[in-house]
Structure 1
Amino acid sequence: MTRIGLIRHGSTLWNKEGRIQGHTDNPLDGDGLRQAAVLAERLNGESWDYIYSSDMLRARQTAEIIAARLGIPLAGLVPGIREMNGGLIEGTTESERVERFGSGWKSMDMKLESQELAQQRGVQAIEELAARHPGSNILVVSHGAILRSTLKGLVPSLDVSELLKNTSITCIVNTGSGWTCELYNGAEHLDG
């Protein structure tokens, strides 16, 4: 059985401002650093063999904090799980998008990465990690939109309409006959 814990990175200033981050390489803010430490404490009592991260700074910082607490090295950076490209709306808030493009901006071609392409690259990245470490428990730190797209590809019946919280963990398991989801958007560690 291969178990993967999919983690959304800690918070950034742009998260708080409601800005689309996409491929912009933002660092964690103070809250994000604390969230990562709290999640690391939660995971410390569990058995994890490897930790991987998106190649983007906010995910890598989150993964490094967790890796240090768990005493396992960061096994690698995986470009296939970087956030979806935000195209023309990257760096903007909703009000800025309306001001710049009008209220119908969602129906316009904003040069966004398609859900299909994002899902394809995310699924491929997770399947490759699972094949590299069969029977292992693997943590993967990534981003909200790409994780939801990837999950929809791995577990098609899963309802991914709930947005993933910063430093939430979603656990999926493959016993040889496909992926199932044990936990979606687990963020109880943030309640304390």
Structure 2
Amino acid sequence: MKDIFVVTHTQSVHHEEDKVGGWYDTELTARGQEDAAATAERLRAFAGEKEVEIYSSDLRRAAQTAAAIAKRFQRPVAETADLREISYGVAGGKPQAWLDARYSPAPDDNRLDFSCGIDGAETRRDVAARVYPCVNAIVARPCETQIIVTHGFTLTLVLAAWMKIPIDACGFLSFPEKSGSITHLRQDEFFRNRAVVRLADASHLRC
């Protein structure tokens, strides 16, 4: 049995400031730190006494969430830029209203390769091209219980990689989430099926 828990980072400073995230590198708020500790406790309950591996985006908000989890499990964290949020290019760190006024939604006939009109922004395909190999390498490791800490948009592509959905089929894919959510993935030993046991669970966080 392989169990993977995918965590979205908890509340970050850019949330409170209503600024564009992406690769804009902000820390957790006090609430984010509290929620990260609560997330760590829930993960400990899910994993029991099993030995775990922990992987994280290298952006501070994810790395700090992962650090709280690592402290609870007494395990190290492997950080990687491959698990980062989608980059919003020049919009990163600007007021959300700035991006909203300039953002063009991807058309139905070009969902994967449209950069939404923002200079330097990543496309869905760009994100998938770094996330898929990273997830595949993590899953291929023999450890039976793994934790991946990432971001809201990236969560969808982590799940798509796990479910072996071809990148070309990801144009319309989206899994809603909340900061600090936990998604539980499991592959059984006999049929080798890959299941989404729990999607974006945030019941461990206070309202």
CA offset digits 1:5-38 (Å, max 9, x no partner): 0000111121233322111211101110000011
Maintained 8 Å contact 2:7/2:183 = yes
**Paired position in structure 1 for 2:11:** 11
User: Which structure carries more helix by proportion?
Assistant: 1
Quick check: 1:179 aligned with 2:194? Answer: yes
**Paired position in structure 2 for 1:59:** 62
**Paired position in structure 2 for 1:123:** 132
**Paired position in structure 1 for 2:112:** none
SS state at 2:204 partner: helix
TM-score, normalised to structure 2's length? Answer: 0.79
5+ residue gaps, structure 1, are none
Maintained 8 Å contact 2:67/2:77 = no
The change in CA–CA distance for 1:40 and 1:160 in structure 2 (over 3 A counts) is farther
**1:55-134 superposed matches below 5 A:** 55-71=58-74, 73-98=75-100, 101=102, 105-106=103-104, 108-110=116-118, 111-134=120-143
- State the superposition RMSD in angstroms: 2.4
SS state at 1:190 partner: coil
5+ residue gaps, structure 2, are 106-115
Which of 156, 160, 185 is matched with 1:152 structurally? 160
Inter-partner Cα distance in structure 1 for 2:43 and 2:100: 41
Aligned pairs, number: 186
Moved more, 34-43 or 73-82: 73-82
Maintained 8 Å contact 2:136/2:161 = no
**Paired position in structure 2 for 1:44:** 44
The change in CA–CA distance for 1:178 and 1:112 in structure 2 (over 3 A counts) is farther
Q: What is the identity, as a one-letter code, of the residue corresponding to 1:146?
A: T
Quick check: 1:165 aligned with 2:178? Answer: yes
TM-score, normalised to structure 1's length? Answer: 0.85
- The percentage of counterpart residues that share the same residue type is 26
Q: What is the identity, as a one-letter code, of the residue corresponding to 2:183?
A: T
Shift in Å at residue 59 of structure 1? Answer: 0.8
